[in-house]
Amino acid sequence: MHCHSIWRHEGVRNFQSTPKDPKLTVPRLPFRLMTSTDVYPEQEGKFPSHKPAIEMWSLFSYNLHKATYMGLDRMDLRKGKRNFIIGRGSFTGMHRYAGLWTGDNASTWDFLRISVAQVLASGLSGGVITGADVGGFMPMGNQQWADPELVIRWYCAYSMLPWFR
């Protein structure tokens, strides 16, 4: 069975053959996997309904944070210690298991405004440990370093927010 036959059999859609090797298949972008519930067909007498992966990604991330938290909690070496787990994205209720990092950002005034708004919105939604890269993660354009005034303003703003990273 060729690769494309296996993937199509498993319910993966949007595959196309490459021009060099028609037997080898690669996903087109955006790559839309079809996922299903954890129910076996025998349990309900029918195959479970499929959902686009984009509807499941946040839930996957949530369960990853939860599993990490539960796994660390059960280690004898960590008895009586609090877990500090940071994730990049998740689902409602994530705050019980991990904090939120808003992701890579650039050293620009726009990213300063956006990141503060993201952290405040996350706090209003129950995410108490949320933060971004203070000062930005990468310079923009031909800059080698961030503007010193920008970094000072970023430090001032983030000194009042829950997580300074």
pLDDT at 121: 92
Locate 142 and state its tokens.
């031909």
Structurally, the chain folds into a number of domains equal to 2
Pair (108, 129) in one structural domain: yes
Of residues 8, 46, 48, 2, the one with CA closest to residue 21 = 2
Per-residue confidence of the chain (165 residues) as pLDDT tens digits?
444 443 444 444 444 434 444 444 444 444 445 555 444 455 555 555 666 666 677 888 888 999 999 999 999 999 999 999 999 888 888 899 999 998 888 888 999 999 999 999 999 988 889 999 898 877 767 777 788 899 999 999 999 998 888
Q: Which of 55, 76, 91 is the last residue of a domain?
A: 55
Pair (138, 70) in one structural domain: yes
Instruction: Say which residues have a Cβ less than 8 Å from residue 8's Cβ, sequence separation at least 6.
Output: 15
pLDDT at 83: 92
Three-state SS string over the chain comes to: CCHHHHHHHCCCCCEEECCCCCCCEEECCCCCCEEECCCCHHHHCCCCCEEEHHHCHHHHHHHHHHHHHHHHHCCHHHCCCCCCCEECCCCCCHHHCCEEECCCCECCHHHHHHHHHHHHHHHHCCCCCEECCCCCCECCCCCCCCCHHHHHHHHHHHCCCCCCC
pLDDT at 17: 39
Report d(CA 153, CA 113) in Å as an integer.
Answer: 11
Pair (51, 13) in one structural domain: yes
Pair (63, 120) in one structural domain: yes
pLDDT at 67: 93
pLDDT at 44: 57
Pair (102, 120) in one structural domain: yes
